[in-house]
Amino acid sequence: MSYIHRTIADLARSSPAQALFYQAVEEVLESLEPLLESDPIYRQNAIIERIVEPERQILFRVPWVDDEGQVRVNKGYRMEFNSALGPYKGGLRFHGSVNAGIIKFLGFEQIFKNALTGLAIGGAKGGANFDPKGRSDREIMRFCQSFMTELYRHIGPTIDVPAGDIGVGAREIGYLFGQYKRLTRRYDGVLTGKGLLWGGSYGRREATGYGCVYFAQNMLLGRGETIEGKTCLVSGAGNVAIYTIEKLYQFGARPITCSDSTGTLYDPHGIDLDALKRIKEEQRLSLREYLKEFPKAEFVPLEAYPEDGHAVWRFPGQVAFPCATQNELTEADARHLLANGCSCVSEGANMPSTPTAVELFVRERILYGPGKAANAGGVATSQLEMSQNAGMQQWSFEQVDQRLQGIMLDIYRRCSETAAEFGQPGNLVLGANIAGFRRVADAMLQQGVV
């Protein structure tokens, strides 16, 4: 049995039933093979065995009372994975599907993503199996207050700084921050994605989506093209998808799809951004609503999806941006994308493409930006928010956006140069994993066995 498969088998024994976590680990370890062979120091010091184990796993009960007076209980998580490069940093996800395996996969990915930004941030992730959908504002506030009543004792501006993710946006960060402040009497930069009136950074809301488009543009420029005039497929209709679409319009591209948990929307004229923001950000309704205003658009409900994949990837487009959730782009989807002339994929979501879809993209040598590189603009801008908070400053939108563009270019270069160094030019999966790993692993070596 190979070293990698032995590691996965050990994980499956010691941390059972965490399939998404093993998937994330396998993808990283496979890319690391050339590095582990050329430099034995990492294996000699058990860096792999240490890096797959979170430094600390916090699991807690989140009791709260719904609007009918009924007591509800959810499971809360914070996985503090790795602090070699800086304070733990990574989002909170509130979604019915959340479990320890999902949070561990996200936390593990976060270590390498954060390392790739070149900034001083460690990796973590957290959340709860709570679904804000259909809950009143007051229920969400009570849930967030209960969640923070446990979490506050584990976090701090130089210890662990959570942010948003699926189901955690500006509203939830506000309630979480309010409770933190009440419990600690401290006005700390302990969360990022805060409101602009109370310590937030300009550009943080837009950063993941904008960054993902900057990454695609960098990949295309490397091939002597630009994104201008290209037809684009986007999945998701949340924070990342909306600001991906906004930046695509600014760059003169035409995004023709988006999707949510009810189905896929296709508008050949381009998705109307104002309508999308109104339906998803303000009203929090299904994308189906879009048809009321634009009856010529098409909506494919979830029930009508192909058995082997997702409707969104079956429309023809030149560049694809998966921005919803994990494993939302299958091998069959990848084949359709390629057959329809798609030659660039930039991942806004975390691990949205299945392993066999990724294999196909790499084998066919299309421009493929894995999530840990392409969506790192969000966490990078969160770190800029931390810097502003520490210096009691607020930078302008233009300043933040300039920094974001520079960081995305650096990440692209770091991945490309590392891929070339290991004899696989253009393989950004290998480049991202090795470049991210090497930075964390070298810091771990220098800090001793801790």
User: By C-beta, is 48 or 121 nearer to ligand NDP?
Assistant: 121
Q: Which of 62, 111, 166, 441 touches ligand NDP by CB under 6 A?
A: 166
Q: Kindly state whether residue 325 participates in binding ligand NDP, applying the rule CB under 6 A.
A: yes
Instruction: Name the residue number minimizing CB distance to ligand NDP.
Output: 238
What CA–CA distances, in Å, run from 314 to 258, 303, 308? 12, 15, 11
- Establish whether 296 is a catalytic residue: no
Q: Kindly state whether residue 86 participates in binding ligand NDP, applying the rule CB under 6 A.
A: no
User: By C-beta, is 51 or 163 nearer to ligand NDP?
Assistant: 163
Residues 379-438 that bind ligand NDP (CB under 6 A): none
Q: How far is the CB of 36 from ligand NDP (least distance, A)?
A: 27
Closest CA to 320 of 348, 297, 301, 298: 348
Closest CA to 232 of 143, 295, 323, 300: 323
- Cβ atoms of 73 and 63 closer than 8 Å: yes
Q: Which stretch binds ligand NDP (CB under 6 A): 57-65, 149-157, 321-329, 442-450?
A: 321-329
What CA–CA distances, in Å, run from 140 to 172, 175, 220, 419? 7, 8, 42, 44
87 to 106: interface string for ligand NDP, x by CB under 6 A:
--------------------
Count of residues in the chain: 450
For CA atoms 79, 81, 87, 88, give the dihedral sign: negative
Token pair for 20: 């998404």
For CA atoms 132, 138, 141, 145, give the dihedral sign: negative
Q: How far is the CB of 389 from ligand NDP (least distance, A)?
A: 17
Cα separation of 97 and 350, whole Å? 15
Q: Which of 76, 107, 123, 238 touches ligand NDP by CB under 6 A?
A: 238
* Helices vs strands, H then E, count in the chain: 17, 13
Q: How far is the CB of 348 from ligand NDP (least distance, A)?
A: 5
User: By C-beta, is 80 or 109 nearer to ligand NDP?
Assistant: 109
Token pair for 408: 């995305």
Q: Which stretch binds ligand NDP (CB under 6 A): 171-179, 246-254, 319-327, 386-394?
A: 319-327
- Which of 89, 104, 113, 125 is labelled catalytic? 125
> Coil, strand or helix: which one is 348?
coil
330 to 369: interface string for ligand NDP, x by CB under 6 A:
------------------xxx-------------------
Enumerate binding residues for ligand NDP (CB under 6 A).
164-167, 169, 208, 236-241, 260-262, 323-325, 348-350, 375, 378
Positions annotated as catalytic residues are 125
